[in-house]
Amino acid sequence: MSRASIIFLLAVVVCSFVATYNAINMALGHMRATIGAHQDADWEANREGTFHGASETLGKKLQGTWKTSRKEGQGSGAVDAVIPRPKDKVQKGEKRLFHVAVTTNESPYNRWQCRIHYYWYKQMKDREGSEMGGFTRILHSGKPDHMMDEIPTFVVDPLPEGMDKGYVVLNRPWAFQQWLEQAEIEEEYILMAEPDHVFVRPMPNLAADFMPAAYPFFYIEPKKYETLLRRYYPKDKGPITNIDPIGNSPVIIKKTDLQQIAPTWKNVSIAFKNDEEVDKAFGWVLEMYAYAVASALHGVSHILRQDFMVQPPFSTELDGAYIIHYTYGCDYNMKGELTYGKIGEWRFDKRSFSGGAIPRNMPMPPKGVPETVVRLVEMVNEATANIPGWEEGQQR
């Protein structure tokens, strides 16, 4: 068992003792490497490219840290306030449904990921324990595409030409803002998801009635960038630790909260992009910081759920996580050893299929490869085998 798993399990045990919805902030280490010039228009590939060639010690630099309480004495080291699940509703068996919303552009690369994402949403939605409600693909290209019949889709406008300065994700807050203003959304909660998320388990609503839930990213470090962030989150707003180490996804949040945050998030991301120093410092994770700052500006903090998702190959065990995020390339030799940073004899990397759909029946990894990676390939294969008309390299 990896150290990550042991620390995580310990945390789970401790937390179950105090019967909390815990807020574990497990920082995996400081892996932020220099961000190179971008190679293509895919922001995600670039965001993730941040980690390519980064130190191989990532998995080794594990450290578990408790998120310190904000509300009850700063820096006391206390565990976040106990966040009980609203008992009355659970007892009544009333579900707190959340709407799954995934923002995307019209590229074939995002499209094949969306199809797999939606397939697994459908598989998990009606299973025991799920509080998953409706689904929307928010397409921010301004026009319908060929997937409209296959996936429930809401078309919104992109930002005005040139405003994103080539950083496609800047469209995301604007896309959410338009969708929230124009669409009729039945559910009270929203899950902001991404195309490369695969639901491994039926997902309950991880948010509390009064607090959204987010996944803590080890590479979002507000404290480290305090000087820059203070330009947008002035001292009178409170300590810099009010800015959560998160991005907008995955997050489960009340619709009414997101309606408040989205316009600020849009403004903050554009302001960040136009601030040369901030742009340079944050690079491809700029927009994640923008959400973190915008939500803090609205006084909204998040329950940090490490079990929200796993990110192979760094997360080796599923540990009860709900989502597999296949953001990193998985490279292994035939002995099942991670060859991170070097192309493996066996590899699974979504970026190998940036021009069109991934083929069906991808080869399974060699023996010894962690369960997160094995499960991911199984799930991708199952989806592509069952989605009608799946074609390798498909553009539409």
Ligand X SMILES: *[C@@H]1O[C@H](CO)[C@@H](O)[C@H](O)[C@H]1NC(C)=O
Tokens of 17: 């003792």
Element (H, E) at 175: helix 171-182
Cβ(176)–Cβ(159) below 8 Å: no
Q: Strand, helix or coil at 252? A: strand
**Residue 64 engages ligand X in binding (rule: CB under 6 A):** no
Considering only the stretches 59-67, 231-239, 260-268, 348-356, report the one whose residues sit in contact with ligand X under the rule CB under 6 A: 260-268
Residues pairing with 252 in the sheet: 191, 213
Residue placing its CB nearer to ligand X in the complex, 173 or 312: 173
Residue placing its CB nearer to ligand X in the complex, 267 or 333: 267
Considering only the stretches 31-39, 45-53, 262-270, 285-293, report the one whose residues sit in contact with ligand X under the rule CB under 6 A: 262-270
Residue placing its CB nearer to ligand X in the complex, 239 or 263: 263
124/132 Cα distance (integer angstroms)? 8
Residue placing its CB nearer to ligand X in the complex, 107 or 264: 264
Tokens of 298: 């609205």
**Residue 263 engages ligand X in binding (rule: CB under 6 A):** yes
**Residue 177 engages ligand X in binding (rule: CB under 6 A):** no
* Residues recorded for the chain: 396
**Residue 264 engages ligand X in binding (rule: CB under 6 A):** yes
Q: Which amino acid is at 82?
A: V
Q: What's the first-to-final CA gap in the chain, in angstroms?
A: 42
CB of 214 to ligand X, least distance (A): 21
Residue placing its CB nearer to ligand X in the complex, 77 or 160: 160
Residue placing its CB nearer to ligand X in the complex, 234 or 393: 234
Considering only the stretches 34-42, 124-132, 259-267, 320-328, report the one whose residues sit in contact with ligand X under the rule CB under 6 A: 259-267
Q: Strand, helix or coil at 103? A: strand
Element (H, E) at 47: helix 43-49
CB of 52 to ligand X, least distance (A): 35
Q: Which amino acid is at 19?
A: A
- Per-residue binding letters, 265-294, with ligand X (x by CB under 6 A): --x---------------------------
349/297 Cα distance (integer angstroms)? 36
Interface contacts to ligand X, rule CB under 6 A: 263-264, 267
